[in-house]
Chain A
């Protein structure tokens, strides 16, 4: 039993190191100018590929946070609320169409966007478990409808909302945002349902970090 635990522990640590490496590689790839420009040349790849990839990279890189720092963050993140507030606000700003145009012509705003989305990923990673079902539900209850509404506006706007992107792309992105929001909501609800209907098993004692 003890051996198995330590094997798991080793595997976990190996995976954690692997995560940082993966996150670093993903981030490096996203930042390479030709690829960054290629992703940003289309509205769909910009919003539906680059944004989530940055969030994932931030989440993976957050694994590299030292326990001391983790503790310091946890001290001002009761129920993961501060982290989720941060993530929700970054996502809200990322939905403003002007941002998509602005990052193409202003390097400072591009840096802020990249940093904001990375930190958003890290915040989600570091706070999701601590948040618990109620706070998670509150976060998603705000963020996903906002995403769906933004999607509806993008899809139904008669004119282009971004000077740098075509109308047909905008309509596709709008529809995709509605689908992504619905899919995330369905996934989360299914997971909550599964957890609630699962037969009760006392939680295993937490392994030392």
Chain B
């Protein structure tokens, strides 16, 4: 009886260990957000062909928006009525824009060429954030349209596949606004989400994006000369 009890207990322990290891990616992460970031780093997530529009931008499928002109895009999800996290995100993006502008001034050769880093803010509140609202938001943040663009989908239904694919979770905050897993999403020149950073790690995010952009240009050149 004791032997069988021990065997069964050991079996349960192994089963739970396997379940726990699966649930936490070998005990590295404990939250869904941690899992999202790890999974993206391990296997890039292609952007879905969601048509987006914004100030001075007709409906464009997201992958084209991300790949045109080459380079790497740092994407964030916002809603313009946001008074909390998005303000921080807004100022983070303002600082990123300033750093990118400075980099372009210091190396005129690299200015607005491929290999740069671009910024894209996508609103998950298309009901309120039409292109006009986005334009007002952009001018409030003094966004430089050559670097930082704003977009949203026609409606919530059109936006759903994008939110699902990038695992952007938006919930009501109980005060008329939204709470969401705000972060900096780095998308490569092929339109694939490759890394997710906390907005507190904005310097790392930018350095990583710039490095990726440089490597991409390098690889593209190598491929070009080979072909």
Contacts and interface: CB of A to CB of B under 8 A. Distances in A.
Contact of A96 (B5, B13, B30): B30
Among B1, B5, B171, the most chain A Cβ lie within 10 Å of the Cβ of B5
A78 interface: yes
Contacts, number: 80
Contacts of B12: 82, 85-86, 89
Nearest to A167: B179
A98 B171 contact: no
Contacts of A81: 5, 9
Among B4, B30, B32, B169, the most chain A Cβ lie within 10 Å of the Cβ of B32
A74 to B, nearest CB: 8
Nearest to B198: A159
B135 interface: no
Interface string A50-85: 000000000000000000000000011111011001
B19 interface: yes
Interface in B1-20: 1-2, 4-5, 7-9, 12-13, 15-16, 19-20
A58 B114 CA distance: 61
B99 interface: no
A96 B169 contact: no
A85 B34 CA distance: 28
B77 to A, nearest CB: 12
A27 B31 CA distance: 28
A112 B181 CA distance: 26
A17 interface: no
A141 interface: no
Q: How large is the interface on B (under 10, 10 to 19, 20 to 34, 35 or more residues)?
A: 20 to 34
Among A77, A96, A102, A163, the most chain B Cβ lie within 10 Å of the Cβ of A163
A98 B21 CA distance: 12
B33 interface: yes
Interface string B13-41: 10110011001100001111111000000
B13 A89 contact: yes
Contact of A166 (B2, B171, B181): B171
B25 to A, nearest CB: 9
Contacts of B29: 98
A165 B179 CA distance: 9
Q: How large is the interface on A (under 10, 10 to 19, 20 to 34, 35 or more residues)?
A: 20 to 34
Given A81-B9, A92-B16, A98 B1 contact: no
B224 interface: no
Interface string A153-187: 00000001111111110000000000000000000
B24 A96 contact: yes
B1 A97 contact: no
B23 A93 contact: yes
Interface in B168-213: 169, 171, 173-174, 179, 181
A35 to B, nearest CB: 20
Contacts of A160: 33, 179, 181
Nearest to A90: B16
Interface of B: 1-2, 4-5, 7-9, 12-13, 15-16, 19-20, 23-24, 29-35, 167, 169, 171, 173-174, 179, 181
10 smallest CB-CB distances across A and B, nearest first, come from: A101-B32, A89-B16, A76-B4, A163-B169, A78-B5, A82-B8, A85-B9, A163-B181, A76-B8, A86-B12
Interface of A: 75-79, 81-82, 85-86, 89-90, 92-93, 96-99, 101-102, 160-168
Given A77-B8, A82-B5, A163-B169, 19 more contacts: A75-B1, A76-B4, A76-B5, A77-B5, A78-B2, A85-B12, A89-B15, A90-B16, A92-B16, A92-B20, A97-B30, A97-B32, A98-B32, A102-B32, A160-B181, A163-B31, A163-B171, A164-B169, A166-B171
